[in-house]
Amino acid sequence: MAPLRAKVKVGKKTKDLVKALEPNEIAIIDHQDLDEVAALSLLAARIKGVVNASPSISGRYPNPGPQILLSRGIHILDDVGKEIMEILHDGDYISILGNNIYRNGQLLAGGKMLTLELVEEKMKQASANLDQELDKFIANTLEYAAKEKSLILGKLEMPKLDTDLNGKHVLVVVRGKNYQEDLRIIKPYINEVRPILIGVDGGADVLLESGYRPQIIIGDMDSVKDRTLKCEAELIVHAYPDGRAPGLERIRKLGLEGKVFPAPGTSEDIALLLAYEKGASLIAAVGTHTSMLDFLEKGRKGMASTFLVRLKVGSILVDAKGVSQLYGKKVRLGYLMLIFLAALIPMGVIVGITPATQQIIRLLFLNLKVACGLIGG
C-alpha cells in the first residue's frame, strides 16, 4: 500500500469534528465502536483517511461504521492509543505507512490498518456476542425504568412555551439513522400539513439545511450549530433532573435566552413528551433511536426513558424512521389504491370485532398516510 499523506484535524467528539473537516484531510478521532451516523458524516466531509485512537469495532456489538468507510475506499488506522490526540494538532501533516504514523520522518505511533476482511470477521464475532449484550441491555432498561417513571406519571415540570402546539401536528427531527433520506421522503407531508417543527440538537441543523426553520430547538445544545441557534427558534435546554443545565451557558454566550427542562432520559424523549403534554394532535418523528443497536451506537446501555415515553405518547406517535428504506422513489397513486383495496376485505371483518381493533387500524392508516405524504391538515 502506498503511503497516505495529508493534513490532519483532531477531535475527541466525531460529531463536532465533522463540522470542521475539509476535503482530503485525515480525521484523528477517539471513537470506540464507530457508528453508522458518524461514518456517513465522515464520508460527507470527503476525508482522505481516519486514525482512531480507540478500536473502531470492539466486538461488543456489530457496529457498521468501519464497513461503511472501508467499502468507500477510506483507510482506517485503528487503535493507535489515546496519546495521539495530544501529539497531533490541527494542520499537522502526517504520513501513514503500513501500520505506523510519521510526522517529518519521525515515528509517532502505531496501530492496525483495517481491511474489509478483518472487519467482517470482527462483525461475526460481535454478532455471536449479541445475546449476552441483549441480556445486559434488558436488565439495565428495567432497572432505570423504575427510577425514571416520573416521565409518564405527570410529575415533571414542563416549561411554558410561546409556540402553541395544542391540536396541531408536530414533527420531531433527530439526527439518527437515515434521517436525511426519511426527511426528504416526507417533504410532501411537511409542505401540505405545515406541522410545528422541533429539532433535537443536531436535528435542528438538518431542518435548516433542508430549507425549513425549526420553531423549537430542544436538547443539551452540544451538537447544534451557532447559526441554527440564532434562527429565532424557541430554545429549550435539556437539564439534569437536579436542574443543572450546562447547555444554558452556551446559549447565553450567544446572547440568546433559553428555557430549562429538567428531566431524565434523552433529549429526543423529552421532545416527544413535551409535544404530547402540550396537546399535539399527532407527533411524527424522524431519525429517532428505538432499537437496541441504536442505543448501543449512542453509547447507552439501556433505553428506559424511551420505553416509558413511547408507552405514554404511542397513541398519537407516527414514526417515520426508516420510511426511505420502504421506497426511494415516488409511489404511484394507483399502486397505493390497489394496496388499500386489497386490505379492505380482511379489515372489514376485523373492524367489527372490538373498538380497540378499530383504533389500531386507524393508527396503521395514519402511519401509511404520513409515510407516503398523503395525509391532510
* 112 phi-psi bin (left φ>0, alpha ψ -120 to 50, beta other): beta
Q: What percent of the chain has pLDDT over 90?
A: 52
Distance (Å, rounded) from C-alpha 127 to C-alpha 124? 5
Q: One-letter amino acid identity for 194?
A: R
Task: With a cut of 90, say whether residue 19 has pLDDT above it.
Answer: no
Distance (Å, rounded) from C-alpha 116 to C-alpha 69? 10
**Which carries the bigger pLDDT value, residue 300 or residue 191?**
191
The mean per-residue pLDDT over the stretch 88-102 comes to: 95
Distance (Å, rounded) from C-alpha 17 to C-alpha 42? 9
Contact 101, 80 (CB under 8 A): yes
Q: Under DSSP, is residue 226 helix (H, G, I), strand (E, B) or coil?
A: helix
Sign of the CA dihedral 145, 146, 149, 153? positive
Contact 278, 165 (CB under 8 A): yes
The CATH number of domain 4-124 is 2.60.450.10? no
What is the pLDDT of the chain when averaged over all its residues?
Answer: 83
Distance (Å, rounded) from C-alpha 35 to C-alpha 361? 35
Distance (Å, rounded) from C-alpha 23 to C-alpha 21? 7
User: What DSSP letter does each residue of 299-320 carry, written as one string?
Assistant: T-S--HHHHHHHHHHGGGEEE-
pLDDT for residue 61: 81
Q: One-letter amino acid identity for 149?
A: K
pLDDT for residue 10: 97
The mean per-residue pLDDT over the stretch 134-147 comes to: 71
Q: Residue 353 burial (CB < 10 Å; 0-12/13-18/19+)? A: exposed
Task: With a cut of 90, say whether residue 369 has pLDDT above it.
Answer: no
Q: Please, which residues bridge with residue 319 across strands?
A: 285
pLDDT band at 326 (very low <50, low <70, confident <90, very high): low
**To which H or E segment does residue 276 belong?**
helix 267-277
pLDDT digits (tens, 9 = 90+) for 24-47: 999 999 999 998 889 999 999 999
C-alpha 193 chain-centroid distance: 24
| Strand 49-52, strand 75-78: pairing | parallel
Distance (Å, rounded) from C-alpha 35 to C-alpha 120? 15
Helix then strand then coil, % of the chain, to nearest 5: 45, 20, 40
Distance (Å, rounded) from C-alpha 126 to C-alpha 63? 8
Domain residue spans of the chain = 4-124, 155-329, 331-377
pLDDT for residue 291: 64
Distance (Å, rounded) from C-alpha 171 to C-alpha 197? 5
Please name which of 37, 336, 64, 42 lies closest in space to residue 179, comparing C-alpha atoms.
Answer: 37
Distance (Å, rounded) from C-alpha 251 to C-alpha 263? 19
Q: One-letter amino acid identity for 159?
A: P
Please name which of 99, 74, 81 lies closest in space to residue 29, comparing C-alpha atoms.
Answer: 81
- Upper half-sphere CA count for residue 73 (Cβ side, 13 Å): 5
Distance (Å, rounded) from C-alpha 359 to C-alpha 363? 6
pLDDT for residue 273: 92
Task: With a cut of 50, say whether residue 336 has pLDDT above it.
Answer: no
Quick check: do 4-124 and 155-329 share a fold?
A: no
Q: One-letter amino acid identity for 90?
A: D
pLDDT for residue 353: 47
pLDDT digits (tens, 9 = 90+) for 49-77: 999 999 999 888 888 999 999 999 999 99
Mean pLDDT lowest among 2-6, 270-274, 298-302, 359-363: 359-363
**Which carries the bigger pLDDT value, residue 355 or residue 312?**
312
- Give 119's contacts (C-beta < 8 A, 6+ positions apart): 56, 57, 66, 67, 70
pLDDT band at 350 (very low <50, low <70, confident <90, very high): very low
| Strand 93-97, strand 75-78: pairing | unpaired
Q: What is the CATH number of domain 155-329?
A: 3.40.50
Q: How many CB atoms lie within 10 A of CB 132?
A: 10
Q: How many CB atoms lie within 10 A of CB 116?
A: 11
